[in-house]
Amino acid sequence: MTRRAIYPGSFDPVTCGHLDIVERASRMFDEVVVAILVNPNKTSMFTIDERIETIREVINSRLEKFSAKIVVDTFGGLLAEYATQQQAQAVVRGIRAISDYDYEQQLALMNRRLAPTVETVFLLSAQEYSFLSSRLVKEVFTYGGNIDGLVPSLVIERMSEKLAKGAK
Ligand SMILES: Nc1ncnc2c1ncn2[C@@H]1O[C@H](COP(=O)(O)OP(=O)(O)OP(=O)(O)O)[C@@H](O)[C@H]1O
Ligand SMILES: [Mg+2]
């Protein structure tokens, strides 16, 4: 049986913290589905298609060793429903600090109620990325701060293009 895990998130944009979790999950499961949540009510920097393309490219270059077992997909609505439909054994979530815990516990327990056989697996972030979020990356980059090493260089390129367009 294929052991499949879903790693859901916005990935707007994907960071080195996300990639670290994908890599850890890839060592544990036969297949890891990076599942981008489609949320029309949330304003984002990148479109869903741009995020899919960037994540795929970055996985192929930075996680080449695991790329055969990593799938990139999108989903809307309930995560529990999507995980069941994907016949996943687990949902993977990253924990950066205690501040992530409250919300993650709520989410995990609600998902357990909705899909009792899908287990939530928490993976502790790498220490060097424990302060890192997409929101912070966007904020710092918008004001000209250096984000080298926190996101793949492709993401920096894509963000520069976005800002250049926005400035016109
Ligand atoms: N630096 C990181 N290290 C480990 N896990 C992370 C890191 N950043 C995000 N995650 C985890 O990845 C999953 C998806 O998170 P999400 O898409 O919200 O990313 P985010 O960086 O927190 O973005 P945002 O700032 O928009 O909330 C969550 O489980 C989150 O805890
Ligand atoms: Mg978040």
Supply the pLDDT for residue 166: 79
Q: Which domains does the chain have, with CATH numbers?
A: 4-167 (3.40.50.620)
pLDDT range class, residue 7, cuts 50, 70, 90: very high
| Better-scored residue on pLDDT, 1 or 140 | 140
Render pLDDT for 102-133 as a digit per residue (tens, 0 to 9): 999 999 999 999 999 999 999 999 999 999 99
For the segment 4-16, the average pLDDT, to the nearest whole number, is 98
93 is catalytic: no
Q: Kindly report the pTM of this predicted structure.
A: 0.97
Q: What is the pLDDT of residues 46-96, one digit of tens each?
A: 999 999 999 999 999 999 999 999 999 999 999 999 999 999 999 999 999
The reported pLDDT for the residue numbered 168 is 53
C-alpha–C-alpha distance, residues 140 and 136, integer Å: 6
| C-beta 7 within 6 A of ligand 1 | no
The arithmetic mean of pLDDT across residues 140-147, rounded, is 97
Pick from 6, 55, 53: nearest CA to 32: 6
CA of 1 to the centre of ligand 2 (A): 31
Q: Which residues pair with 6 in a beta bridge?
A: 33, 91
| Pairing mode of beta strands 119-124, 90-95 | parallel
pLDDT at residue 57, rounded to an integer:
98
**b (16+ CB within 10 A) / e for 122-136:** ebebbeebeebebee
**For ligand 1, mutation pick of 91, 96, 98, 137 (most atoms within 8 Å of CB):** 96
* pLDDT of amino acid 40: 87
* Partners of 56 in beta bridges: none
| Mean residue pLDDT across the chain | 97
- Looking at residue 88, its pLDDT comes to 98
Distance 51 CA to ligand 1 centre (A): 14
* Residue 42 annotated to the active site: yes
